[in-house]
Amino acid sequence: MKVFVFPQFNYLLPSLKSRGIGTAYFEVKRFPNKEFRCLVNADVNGQDCTIIGTLAPPASNLLEISLLSHTLKCSGAKKVTVVLPYLAYSRQDKYQPGQSLGVEWVSRLLSASGIDQIVTIDLHSSEDEKYLKIPVLSISPARLFASEIRELIDRDWSVLAPDKGAIKRAEEFAKSAGLNQHVAHLEKVRASSVYHQKLVGEVGSEVVIIDDILGTGSTLISACQILKKNNTKEIVIAVSHGEFVGKKWKELWKLGVKKIYCLDTIPSVTKMKSSRIKIIPCGELLSQNLTDKG
């Protein structure tokens, strides 16, 4: 297997190395007129190749991955897998006339560029699987979160999914952490802003909220407001993908959130500096799945 890592993800290199996964040299450069040009310095003929990168903005990321994949296939690669620790565009997963279906669009672009498989962590929804035109392996972070969060919680903590889409991942977490309580969930409404209508199930005074993405923080803020009204005393949050867009998410601290656990699936979180945000490396989880895959 030949592995090509885009520089934003160089922080994953030690985990890859510890599993005996070496990386191959490539460059995506620009001609003076700004056109992309890809150079691969490895013999990939007949090889399985893996690219680690992101489709998140700027759009050049998507183009660079596509061009690299095309270059590998033109050079004889047998199979190209792309590892996208966070699958950007996965929230555009519902067919509505007149609105873009981003997840299908990116998967068609990747497929047309020669990509045969996507590996990601905690895919946003089952709807995504319906629209992705390439086989996808979604790795669950439940066990990783369970082993980290155990430092703060015990078996009597409740688990809350902030919307119906998060129930399955919250249940996986509760099972991995060996918690006693059933998972409760909120019914979420996304209008001009995000708010929650109803708490389904019961939560105690100590609650872990499990979600896939922390974007602006609106969803989690609204969830914490409901928990506050419900007399919850302690809140811990675990999210797979931390975008931390803008400053609004900081309101979470005022709502009693003790700690946020977040994987480093998005390179920018590796620069976050707060004693109340614990960044959990996802490199081992990815490397393990790459070696298991063969």
Which of 212, 220, 194, 222 minimizes the C-alpha distance to 266? 212
Report if residue 265 touches ligand R5P, rule: CB under 6 A: no
116, 128, 163, 264: which one binds ligand R5P (CB under 6 A): 163
Q: Which is nearer to ligand R5P, 61 or 218 (CB)?
A: 218
**Closest distance of CB 57 from ligand R5P, Å:** 15
Task: Give yes or no for a cis peptide into 58 (omega within 30° of 0).
Answer: yes
Residues in contact with 7: Cβ distance below 8 Å, sequence separation at least 6, in sequence order: none
119, 139, 153, 214: which one binds ligand R5P (CB under 6 A): 214
Among the listed ranges 150-158, 202-210, 213-221, 263-271, the one in contact with ligand R5P (CB under 6 A) is 213-221
Q: Which two tokens stand for residue 292?
A: 């298991």
By rule CB under 6 A, what string of x and - marks binding of each residue 91-130 to ligand R5P?
x---------------------------------------
215, 242, 267, 283: which one binds ligand R5P (CB under 6 A): 215
By rule CB under 6 A, what string of x and - marks binding of each residue 173-212 to ligand R5P?
---------------------x----------------xx
Q: Which is nearer to ligand R5P, 116 or 211 (CB)?
A: 211
Q: Which is nearer to ligand R5P, 80 or 236 (CB)?
A: 236
Report if residue 213 touches ligand R5P, rule: CB under 6 A: yes
**Residue in the shown chain whose Cβ atom is closest to ligand R5P:** 215
Distance CA 36, CA 136 (A): 27
Q: Which is nearer to ligand R5P, 64 or 163 (CB)?
A: 163
Token pair 């690219």 in the structure block, residue = 51
**Cβ atoms of residues 44 and 55 within 8 Å:** no
Residues in contact with 207: Cβ distance below 8 Å, sequence separation at least 6, in sequence order: 157, 158, 159, 160, 227, 232, 234, 235, 236
Report if residue 165 touches ligand R5P, rule: CB under 6 A: yes
Report if residue 70 touches ligand R5P, rule: CB under 6 A: no
Q: Which is nearer to ligand R5P, 224 or 290 (CB)?
A: 224
Q: Edge to edge, what strands does the sheet with 257-263 contain?
A: 194-200, 183-190, 158-161, 206-214, 234-242, 257-263, 277-280
Q: Which is nearer to ligand R5P, 94 or 155 (CB)?
A: 94
Q: Residue numbers of the site for ligand R5P (CB under 6 A)?
A: 91, 162-163, 165-166, 194, 211-219
